[in-house]
Homo-oligomer: A and B are copies of this chain.
Amino acid sequence: MRTDSKNVVFSPAPPTLEWIGGIDGVLRLLDQTRLPLEETTIDCRTAEDVWEAIRSLRVRGAPAIGVSAAYGVVIGVQSATTANRDAFDASLRRVCEYLATSRPTAVNLFWAIDRMRRTATESPRLDAKAMAERLLTEARAIEAEDRAMCLAIGRNGAELMPSEGGVLTHCNAGGLATAGDGTALAVLFAAHQVGKRIRVYADETRPLLQGARLTTWELIRRGVPTTLICDSMAGQVMKEGCIQAVVVGADRIAANGDAANKIGTYSVAVLARAHDIPFYVAAPSSTFDFSLPSGEAIPIEIRASEEITEGFGRRTAPRGVDAYNPAFDVTPAKLITGIITERGVIRPVNAETVQRLLRSV
Query: Which positions in A face B, CB cutoff 8 Å?
Result: 2, 4, 6-8, 10, 36-37, 170, 201, 203-207, 209, 212-213, 216-217, 220, 225-237, 239, 263-264, 266-267, 270-271, 273-274, 305, 308-309, 311-326, 329
Complex Cα–Cα for A209 and B311 (A): 12
What are 25 A-B interface contacts by the 8 Å CB criterion? A2-B322, A4-B322, A6-B320, A7-B322, A8-B319, A8-B320, A10-B318, A36-B318, A204-B317, A206-B230, A209-B317, A212-B316, A213-B317, A220-B318, A220-B320, A228-B309, A228-B321, A229-B308, A229-B325, A233-B263, A236-B267, A236-B329, A239-B266, A267-B267, A270-B271
B229, B326, B329: the one within 8 Å of A323 (CB): B229
A7 near B227 with CB under 8 A, answer no
Select which of B203, B239, B318 is within 8 A of A217 by beta carbon: B318
In the complex, which of the residues B230, B267, B308 contacts A308, with contact meaning CB atoms closer than 8 Å?
A: B230
Contacts of A227 in B (CB 8 A): 322-324
Nearest-neighbour CB distance to chain B for A62, whole angstroms, equals 19
Nearest opposing residue in chain B for A305, CB measure: B228
Among A10, A239, A325, residue most surrounded by chain B Cβ atoms (within 10 Å): A239
Copies of chain A in the complex = 2
Residue of A228, A313, A315 with most partner-chain B CB within 10 A: A228
Chain B min CB distance to A257 (Å): 17
The 4 closest A-B pairs by CB, nearest first: A232-B264, A312-B312, A235-B267, A206-B230
Q: Evaluate contact between A229 and B266: CB separation under 8 angstroms.
A: no
Measured CB to CB, the nearest residue on chain B to A231 is B232
Residue of B nearest to A265 (CB): B232
